[in-house]
Structure 1
Amino acid sequence: MNSLDISNEISELLNGPNVYTQLSVPQLVERVLSRKEAILTSTGAVCAETGKYTGRSPKDKYIVEEDATKDKIDWGTVNQPISSEVFDRLYHKMVSFLQNKEEVFVFKGFAGADRSYRLPIQVINEYAWHNLFAHQLFIRPTEEELPFHQAEFTILSAPTFKAVPEVDGTKSETFIIISFERRIILIGGTEYAGEMKKGIFSIMNYLLPEKGSLPMHCSANVGPEGDVALFFGLSGTGKTTLSADPNRKLIGDDEHGWSPNGVFNIEGGCYAKCIDLSREKEPQIYDAIRFGSVLENVVVHQDTRVPDYSDQSLTENTRAAYPLQAIDNIIDPSVAGHPNTIIFLTADASGVLPPISKLTKEQAMYHFLSGYTSKLAGTERGITSPQATFSACFGSPFLPLEPTVYAELLGKKIEEHGVQVFLVNTGWTGGEYGVGSRMKLSYTRAMVHAALEGELNHVETVKDEIFGLHIPVQVPGVPDDVLMPNKTWESQEDYQAKARELVQKFNDNFRKFDHVSKDIIELGAPLG
């Protein structure tokens, strides 16, 4: 099937009598409730349950193996190949399925707040609440832009359309399939809305590097003087907490691009975790969950319709989707200059990484490729003790290209713009998990503040003999001894053993990068 055939079928679908395009938030909420897809909470948000799948389905995600792209994709367990024949067969079935639905919902918008790098997209949904999610998560066109909107990528999402593996060539009833040639994402068999968000992020991770722009899985904010900071970190490292600063305006909480113009948000909204959410701990998120916002898998009191954010009986991965404009302290539009500071966050359960250290360009590239943290007991099913985990570029599930492509682009931009990069350990001190204690949040905040204010740019440092990291000897508001991890352990022998054990894990993980430059290994890797 060629792209013209695809285009004709999409046009025929979009012009059907059952299609509702660009409904307003109130119209979508009305449809959600009348179709009984979700309930209304006490704050005016809609709350939907996603059934069997309460998170992404990485084993059911594929990229079509196509002539124009097959030599660029980093094939493997993350980017699983699937044939054009499988894609075409499912595509035809899905279009026919949606044409026969009583109602279909279409959102037209953009990914990328920088007009020079944005991608016009359209999202075609079986569910009204999924279309509301797309409306809140992606960038909404103005009334002036809408008549000229020409989608360059399309999502077809039909949760109740399920594949038959033995007929359709998938592993299960669920599938997320990206075709870069046809410029379509097919999503079926799952009600989890996050697949749409991450599908578009994967697309941007493929397209942006070709334009000299680095896609990044990070949060970003900007200070009163226009200084920009990026925060990278996996779940549990404190990325949301530390990037939410009342003295700095939020650019975005999750997905960004770094172009020759500066930093821009890829999204128009936030997809925040809700587990144990409270106004005291995270007032911005708590107050953003109001009319038009979408809650996923949050337990709601049957009579009062008050959400119980502490209840994880459906899943720990409860979520809220809302537009950036629901937060007061933002940059609008979500674009800013080049970063002054980059913070890599890790929660090291070994208790051996320094609480803060300065990174050279090569070390920044090494730790960017490593994407290290510790998964703690309870964060995932089956994890009963802390486990070292590595996610390339802090977002390996969404990288269609080899991770070294992104690392090389990061190194180039760090050098070009003189960016200061810091590794901040929000994990354990004075011993490993179960022996030591978690780093005090007040200390971490003081270290991050000093880094953002430029107070550590020229401070005296000591080189760690095992990791080769440059540790500041003083940070305002932090006891000097806390900065040196070996000084917080009672047994130096135990510290040395645990530190070298972690170095070995770094080395073992790094062997998978085949095309990394010698400089990154020789100048960026731990000393051993």
Structure 2
Amino acid sequence: MNSLTVSSEIVELLKGSNILVQPSVPVLVEKVLKRGEGILTASGAVRAETGKYTGRSPKDKFIVEEASVKNKIDWGSVNQPISEEKFNRLYEKVVHHLKEKDELFVFKGFAGADEKHRLPIQVVNEYAWHNLFAHQLFIRPTKEELHVHEAGFTILSAPSFQADPLEDGTNSETFIIVSFEQRVILIGGTEYAGEMKKSIFSIMNYLLPENNVLPMHCSANVGYEGDVALFFGLSGTGKTTLSADPHRRLIGDDEHGWSANGVFNIEGGCYAKTIGLTREKEPQIFDAIRFGSVLENVVLDQDTREPDYDDNTLTENTRAAYPLQAIDNIVDPSVAGHPNTIIFLTADAFGVLPPISKLSKEQAMYHFLSGYTSKLAGTERGITSPQATFSTCFGSPFLPLEATVYAEMLGKKIDEHNAQVFLVNTGWTGGEYGTGERMKLSYTRAMIQAALEGELNHTETYKTKVFGLEIPLHVPGVPDDVLIPRKAWADEDAFMEKAKELSAKFRENFTKFNGVAAQIEEKGGPQL
């Protein structure tokens, strides 16, 4: 992916005497401790707190309304416009703010493990721990690559700078603003490091389709015979747990591209949730948290500095950032062939979706656009029963283009490479949440293993009435009566009523596409 010349303001900024370019991990750790930005944990990782913002600020994201992108962006609540005039004024303020700092830290690297499609980036940080985060999350260059590195996009991260909403046109003191023409991302008013990671992903979601590469919010792994699998799923569906397989190598855990050559990781590291983390449940993540890693908002024992991963005092969204190389069972570099199997994970608290079902291309496009899972009673204030939640393409906050662009690309890729797509319900069976029971993890693992090994490609199936899904009648290691959800319910009429209720929620959600995906809905959506 071609880089462009950075703006004159950034060139001038990087000439300052306060600039430290490409500091090593030990240097950054020393700086974090000396500057009081964080503390060292018992395992040698750095722990930092992010203050007021412990997660992304979606209402504070903007794209500059520039002539070259104005007619391409899917403007709305996700992609909010801001004028060039207001951006330029804020841009100057941020640059001035950064010039005044005693130290600035610069990381140069890449987004995209496939050299043909990678984007050279640089990250300019006010905080040393943010630069350590960037060093671990993005792809680190070799000495030779660093020597000829020319940034195609620059992040300017100024957490201590706060916008004036009345003067700057923002919604609060916080802002995350992308200018595609100036190739700049401005971040201010928030210390949450994840804004940097997701901003670059949003950029790639705009740039990659121009080169016929499908950007995807998913994890990916590869078997020892070269067979590639993708795992899509929202929080709580088991994506991390199910894609971590000792018999398969990890390509990446969150962001990928699918090109004419195959799949590649967009990142060079992992940003894992740590709430409830134990070595027994997730040994790869637990053991990756060591010197050079960053823990975000994790509570520590004051004396031993041991993390308490069960403590959500600061936030439920505790995180760890570490390089892929901290995991043993990886593909390095993070590139592989075309996917043989695609898994859509959902935790259906209505208890009506099959434990596993085979999807046609149109059904795959429909469920990709829907991105369904459930919020459970008690997870948020005011939720007293299961709530259907939908995230377009399993990543709606990061899609600058019309969602159907990504769905159409997925459909073409499925056709071209004969990928088999499965919808896997890791949620409830025998009744909705509170009545039924959670699907056994051992059964889900057996179903996914059968899908990955191709055992379900030509097996006998049963077609459901409401959603029109093809359920395999036999899966090794899974009782047959578990596979068809209506048989697990004591009252078949109650099952049909609940299935129709969920079907209506799917249809209601799909109205946001304003008919542009009518053919996908007709061929791939619910039958009632």
Range into which the TM-score falls when normalised by the shorter chain: over 0.9
2:307, 2:376 → 1: CA distance?
26
Tell me if the contact between 2:4 and 2:152 (Cα under 8 Å) persists in the aligned partners: no
The residue number in structure 2 matching 1:70 is 70
Runs of 5+ unmatched residues, structure 1: none
The residue number in structure 1 matching 2:278 is 278
Q: TM-score, normalised by structure 1?
A: 0.98
The residue number in structure 2 matching 1:166 is 166
Tell me if the contact between 1:295 and 1:319 (Cα under 8 Å) persists in the aligned partners: yes
The residue number in structure 1 matching 2:128 is 128
The residue number in structure 1 matching 2:319 is 319
Deviates more, 1:161-170 or 1:381-390: 381-390
Deviates more, 1:515-524 or 1:422-431: 515-524
Map 1:341-490 onto structure 2 (within 5 A): 341-380=341-380, 382-490=382-490
Which digits, 9 at most, give the CA deviation of each residue in 1:449-474, with x for residues without a partner? 00000000000101101110000000
2:416, 2:394 → 1: CA distance?
22
Aligned residues: 526
The residue number in structure 2 matching 1:491 is 491
Tell me the amino acid that sits aligned with residue 228 of structure 2.
V
Q: Secondary structure at the match of 1:512?
A: helix
Tell me the amino acid that sits aligned with residue 304 of structure 2.
T
Tell me if the contact between 1:108 and 1:123 (Cα under 8 Å) persists in the aligned partners: yes
Check if 1:293 corresponds to 2:300. no
Q: Secondary structure at the match of 2:496?
A: helix
RMSD: 1.2
Runs of 5+ unmatched residues, structure 2: none
Q: Could you say if the C-alpha distance between residues 10 and 381 of structure 1 is closer, same or farther in structure 2, counting changes exceeding 3 Å?
A: farther
Tell me the amino acid that sits aligned with residue 526 of structure 2.
P
The residue number in structure 2 matching 1:100 is 100
Instruction: Tell me the CA shift for residue 383 of structure 1.
Output: 3.7
The residue number in structure 2 matching 1:201 is 201
Instruction: Tell me the CA shift for residue 375 of structure 1.
Output: 1.3
The residue number in structure 2 matching 1:237 is 237
Instruction: Tell me the CA shift for residue 521 of structure 1.
Output: 1.9
Instruction: Tell me the CA shift for residue 8 of structure 1.
Output: 1.4
Which digits, 9 at most, give the CA deviation of each residue in 1:238-268, with x for residues without a partner? 0000000000000000000000010000000
Q: Secondary structure at the match of 1:303?
A: coil
Which digits, 9 at most, give the CA deviation of each residue in 1:120-143, with x for residues without a partner? 000000000000000000000001
1:313, 1:132 → 2: CA distance?
24
Tell me if the contact between 1:404 and 1:515 (Cα under 8 Å) persists in the aligned partners: no
Q: TM-score, normalised by structure 2?
A: 0.98
2:358, 2:226 → 1: CA distance?
22
Q: Secondary structure at the match of 1:27?
A: helix
Tell me if the contact between 2:372 and 2:391 (Cα under 8 Å) persists in the aligned partners: yes
Instruction: Tell me the CA shift for residue 377 of structure 1.
Output: 3.5
1:488, 1:515 → 2: CA distance?
36
Q: Could you say if the C-alpha distance between residues 380 and 178 of structure 1 is closer, same or farther in structure 2, counting changes exceeding 3 Å?
A: farther
2:379, 2:218 → 1: CA distance?
20
The residue number in structure 2 matching 1:61 is 61
Deviates more, 1:516-525 or 1:337-346: 516-525
Q: Secondary structure at the match of 1:216?
A: strand
Q: Secondary structure at the match of 1:232?
A: strand
Instruction: Tell me the CA shift for residue 90 of structure 1.
Output: 0.8
Q: Could you say if the C-alpha distance between residues 380 and 86 of structure 1 is closer, same or farther in structure 2, counting changes exceeding 3 Å?
A: farther
The residue number in structure 2 matching 1:340 is 340
Instruction: Tell me the CA shift for residue 378 of structure 1.
Output: 4.7
The residue number in structure 1 matching 2:526 is 526
Instruction: Tell me the CA shift for residue 447 of structure 1.
Output: 0.3
Instruction: Tell me the CA shift for residue 379 of structure 1.
Output: 4.1
1:331, 1:381 → 2: CA distance?
42
Check if 1:15 corresponds to 2:15. yes
Tell me if the contact between 2:298 and 2:308 (Cα under 8 Å) persists in the aligned partners: yes
Which digits, 9 at most, give the CA deviation of each residue in 1:60-79, with x for residues without a partner? 00111110001000011100
Tell me the amino acid that sits aligned with residue 342 of structure 2.
I
Q: Could you say if the C-alpha distance between residues 54 and 213 of structure 1 is closer, same or farther in structure 2, counting changes exceeding 3 Å?
A: same
Instruction: Tell me the CA shift for residue 15 of structure 1.
Output: 1.1
- Identity, in percent, stands at 77
Tell me if the contact between 1:176 and 1:186 (Cα under 8 Å) persists in the aligned partners: yes
